[in-house]
Structure 1
Amino acid sequence: MTSFLQRVFSGVQSTGNLHLGNYLGAIVKFVELQQSFDCLYCVVDLHAITVPQDPIALRNNTREIAAAFIACGIDPKKNIVFNQSQVAEHAELAWVLNCVARIGWLNRMTQFKDKAGKDRENASMGLLDYPVLMAADILLYRATHVPVGEDQKQHLELARDIAQKFNNDFAESIARNGFNDAFFPLPEPLISGPATRVMSLRDGTKKMSKSDASDYSRINLSDDADQIAQKVRKAKTDPDALPSEEKGLEGRPEADNLVGIFAALSQRTKADVLGEFGGSNFSTFKVALVDLAVTKLSPITAEMRKLMADAAYIDDVLRDGSARARELARTNMDAVKDIVGFLR
């Protein structure tokens, strides 16, 4: 079997309002992974335009995501931090993979059905094709691992299917071009942590989302200490005290969510948190959660604001990262062209 460099790719859409769910579900893991993997962290602005965007807001949001990466502890010198639209090979590979992927595969994608809703015929072609572009993002760098939330697992499975079909369809050409039995790896998901799926503060059955109409449903990374405290205090709970064991959280989505957030922020297990707070009422627990959230998030907010005040620095980071990403992308895209049979 072909041996691949252990490489991580992940992207965050440049649609603004990064929140606690993005931080605990993704960015914390990004920071950890840079210790043991070759990492590329991308602001996926091509994905962002699958739904209408204001151009000025899009540029600002792209900078905000990059600032959040850096403020949370991602080193742009050690890793490649860039925005997708500066590396044309993403779109170039996406077209090749469009000719490998099957329409039936895309029609089964549940996220498209959710986002398109009843007005499916008026959804953009880009929204339907979003998972193929995501596959191109990953496979362009021959990434072996992708940190994903539960809602993205289906997209990663599609990326694996596309990679496998490409490898099968062009097996002879791949071998002829010196790549043994496979060109693309089958990327593996990296899912870990007690709160990889953070739920709304207003409804524990719904995922925390930047698109929720209520700002009280989420803690934004741009929120100051007073805003964090107010949102935690107003977070929906139930009338019972916290249980002493994790099984006592079953059927209590809001309690489960707040305990999960505390566990993730403190790098503990839910069982450990309940061992300390079991039997307490929510007013007591929320005071501790406010203190913890403010301690963890306030330095990130302050650093993000400092970075956002220096747009030239952020732009330089993205340009440098994009140039480094293009070197890898061009090499791999040239190989794809040779395998497919394009002249160059």
Structure 2
Amino acid sequence: MKITPRVFSGMQPTGSLHLGNYLGAMVNWIKMQETHECIYCVVDLHAITVWQDPAELRNAIRQVTAAYIAAGLDPKKSILFNQSQVSAHAELAWVFNCVSRLGWLNRMTQFKEKAGKDREQASVGLYAYPNLMAADILAYRATHVPVGEDQKQHLELARDIAQKFNNDFSASIIAEGFADGIFFPQPEPVITGAATRVMSLRDGSKKMSKSDPSDLSRINMTDDADTIAKKIQKAKTDPEPLPSEEGGFSGRPEAENLIGIYATLVDKPVDAVLAEFGGQQFSAFKKVLADALVAKIEPIANEIKRLTGDPAEIDRILADGSSRAREIATPIMGKVKDIVGFIRS
């Protein structure tokens, strides 16, 4: 079972897809499907680490799938599916629960941030989330994972789990025909682009987020032109003109964020954007930025609306993707069972 270069990534079906998701992840996903074998997943198992209304969850799964496709993911070029339809994710997560160490999970900063003061009331699923993320990746023996900066620690844990599994079961792995004793690869992070971490429009020190109570903090991929213009007009800035070079962003996170967004939208280096707009006031730049956002988002929003009008077609696409994903994951999970020592029919 040769390790094939393969990309895996996923996104939760919670809240509206926003500009941070699009520029920070999906732009890169769309590019990679032209050069790699890509598997993209709606991670609904991760979503239920906090309680979800069942009807709303079903709608959210379809909504984010529609957004994936509208943004440019081609379900014929890539495998697009929802996680709960492929049992290998949950099965491998349990094996990894038994490989991973408590000390490793205790160091995961995202659990501490999400659980906050109510840590004792958090679900076990939220705590063990990183083990499931490792299973998502390694159920396909993926070699590359497009991730945001906030997920790098989880990917490092996936690498640790892969290495420990290979070490713990090295004799069995060799006995199963892997002469080098390596079954799981060490997945590599893929982090590229000027806006891999898009920040809030209201606070440049915080990541743009679905969970922010202020809708003005983010650009949703379903926003219309007037809403986009309003949000950019109200976006927090400072009284100084735009800097003329990248070193001029010191202490100016909002300026850096808006410039990074525009640079990614128009596919130009940040220094080229600063050469064009440096020294100007934000009022003029915001109009240009709003126009660029409308040009990019309006067609996507229209396509999301069209796709969500046909939920049966979205379900068909997910079912097809799940079938193709199982073709890859099922034999890998079978080999894991053999390596661990399970008896299977």
User: Which TM-score band (shorter chain)?
Assistant: over 0.9
Root-mean-square deviation (CA, aligned residues, Å) is 0.8
> What is the distance in 2 between the residues matched to 1:189 and 1:3?
21
> What is the distance in 2 between the residues matched to 1:70 and 1:209?
21
Amino acid at match of 1:173: S
CA-to-aligned-CA distance 1:12-60 (integer Å, 9 cap, x gap): 0010211000000001111000011111000000000000111111111
> What is the distance in 2 between the residues matched to 1:16 and 1:322?
23
What residue is the counterpart of 2:94 in the other structure?
A: 95
1:79 matches 2:78: yes
1:127 matches 2:160: no
Structure 2 matches for 1:186-265, cutoff 5 A?
186-265=186-265
> What is the distance in 1 between the residues matched to 2:179 and 2:153?
28
> What is the distance in 1 between the residues matched to 2:63 and 2:40?
14
> What is the distance in 1 between the residues matched to 2:208 and 2:101?
32
Q: 3-state SS of the aligned residue for 1:9?
A: strand
Contact 2:15-2:211 within 8 A present in 1 as well = no
Q: 3-state SS of the aligned residue for 2:117?
A: coil
What residue is the counterpart of 2:292 in the other structure?
A: 292
What residue is the counterpart of 1:48 in the other structure?
A: 47
> What is the distance in 1 between the residues matched to 2:71 and 2:50?
27
Amino acid at match of 2:318: L
Structure 2 matches for 1:1-344, cutoff 5 A?
4-181=3-180, 182-344=182-344
> What is the distance in 2 between the residues matched to 1:26 and 1:55?
26
Contact 1:6-1:38 within 8 A present in 2 as well = yes
> What is the distance in 2 between the residues matched to 1:43 and 1:324?
15
Amino acid at match of 2:10: G
Q: 3-state SS of the aligned residue for 1:184?
A: coil
Contact 1:242-1:281 within 8 A present in 2 as well = yes
Contact 2:85-2:322 within 8 A present in 1 as well = yes
Amino acid at match of 1:276: E
> What is the distance in 1 between the residues matched to 2:81 and 2:333?
18
Contact 1:229-1:290 within 8 A present in 2 as well = yes
> What is the distance in 1 between the residues matched to 2:333 and 2:30?
28
Residue ranges of structure 2 left out of the alignment (5+ in a row) = none
> What is the distance in 2 between the residues matched to 1:243 and 1:116?
39
Q: 3-state SS of the aligned residue for 2:7?
A: strand
> What is the distance in 2 between the residues matched to 1:150 and 1:8?
17
Deviation at 1:318, TM superposition (A): 0.2
Q: 3-state SS of the aligned residue for 2:99?
A: coil
Q: 3-state SS of the aligned residue for 1:117?
A: helix
> What is the distance in 2 between the residues matched to 1:5 and 1:289?
41
Q: 3-state SS of the aligned residue for 2:274?
A: helix
Residue ranges of structure 1 left out of the alignment (5+ in a row) = none
Deviation at 1:142, TM superposition (A): 0.2
Amino acid at match of 1:117: G
Q: 3-state SS of the aligned residue for 2:290?
A: helix
Contact 2:41-2:81 within 8 A present in 1 as well = yes
Amino acid at match of 1:89: A
Deviation at 1:3, TM superposition (A): 5.8
> What is the distance in 2 between the residues matched to 1:248 and 1:36?
36
> What is the distance in 2 between the residues matched to 1:313 and 1:212?
31
Deviation at 1:61, TM superposition (A): 0.7
Amino acid at match of 1:52: W
Contact 1:16-1:64 within 8 A present in 2 as well = no
Contact 1:147-1:189 within 8 A present in 2 as well = yes
CA-to-aligned-CA distance 1:208-260 (integer Å, 9 cap, x gap): 00000000000000101111111001100000100111111111010000000
Contact 1:12-1:42 within 8 A present in 2 as well = yes
Amino acid at match of 2:205: T
Q: 3-state SS of the aligned residue for 1:120?
A: helix
TM-score, normalised relative to structure 1: 0.99
CA-to-aligned-CA distance 1:170-201 (integer Å, 9 cap, x gap): 11111111122200000000000001000000
> What is the distance in 2 between the residues matched to 1:78 and 1:284?
40
Deviation at 1:117, TM superposition (A): 0.3
> What is the distance in 2 between the residues matched to 1:59 and 1:275?
47
Amino acid at match of 2:23: L
Percent of residue pairs identical: 67
Q: 4+ residue stretches of structure 1 with deviation over 2 A?
A: none
> What is the distance in 2 between the residues matched to 1:180 and 1:339?
13
Deviation at 1:78, TM superposition (A): 1.4
TM-score, normalised relative to structure 2: 0.98
> What is the distance in 2 between the residues matched to 1:67 and 1:138?
23
